[in-house]
Homo-oligomer: A and B are copies of this chain.
Amino acid sequence: MRAEPPRLGALIQALCCMPGIGQKSAQRISYHLLQRDRNGAKSLAAALADAMDNIGSCERCRNFSETPVCELCLSEKRDGSLLCIVESPADVFAMEEAGYNGKYFVLMGHLSPLDGIGPQELGLDKLAAYLAGSPGDEAGAGVKEVILATNSTMEGEATAHFISNIVQKHDMRVTRIAHGVPLGGELEYIDSNTLSHALAGRRDITG
């Protein structure tokens, strides 16, 4: 016999839409919320609905934003001559943690023709227009260097390569973030591809 009320079953199913949450975790979470934190759950419901209704995309950088153009794009304190291209909003977060202080362009994915994700889906036409200094929005005209910070995966590399071709049409520097041994990494445990990258990308020590 089904021992749970229908609304509880519905809640458990709905919780499964979150990545990393399966049937068992969803059950545990729903029991916990019902038994111990109903107020927290109500706040969560409100925050979810509020976020989904009010968070859109920035017209300029495509990152999540509550306003047509995001705070970060509008900020005068940031270096407008640097444009960093990343795959996702989480990467923006990571770059901020690393101390980057320029502007961003967020692809919201990577090229993946089999999944129907092409240049159009990544907003590359918007990027090209921005770099050309589109009329009415001159911000892009100040960009001097485009930093490609897509992931170091097959798709990320292909996307970086594709974008570098677009950028090279403009008179700008295009760079790719360095790949190599992570700080604290021990050679013994690093995979051979990373190590061969690190070797090929070796630099002179200037004393």
Contact = CB atoms under 8 A, between A and B. Distances in A.
Nearest to A109: B35
Contacts of A29: 18-21
A10 B40 contact: no
Interface stretch (A60-68, A127-135, A136-144, A165-173): A60-68
B96 A3 contact: yes
A31 interface: yes
A14 interface: yes
A96 B49 CA distance: 35
Contacts of A78: 1
Given A27-B90, A90-B31, A42 B48 contact: yes
B52 A42 contact: yes
Interface in A1-48: 1, 3-8, 10-11, 13-15, 17-21, 25, 27-35, 37-38, 40-48
Determine the main DSSP class of A at the interface with B.
Answer: helix
Nearest to A54: B7
Contacts of A37: 17
Contacts of A50: 7, 10-11
A103 to B, nearest CB: 11
A14 B40 contact: yes
Contacts of A19: 28-29, 32
A85 interface: no
Contacts of A3: 63, 72, 89, 92-93, 96
A11 B47 contact: yes
A158 to B, nearest CB: 20
Given A5-B70, A93-B4, A30 B15 contact: no
Given A13-B47, A35-B89, 12 more contacts: A3-B92, A3-B96, A4-B64, A5-B64, A7-B50, A8-B55, A14-B44, A14-B46, A17-B33, A31-B88, A33-B52, A48-B48
Q: Across the A-B interface, give the 5 residue pairs with the lowest CB-CB distance, nearest first.
A: A17-B40, A14-B47, A45-B48, A45-B49, A11-B51
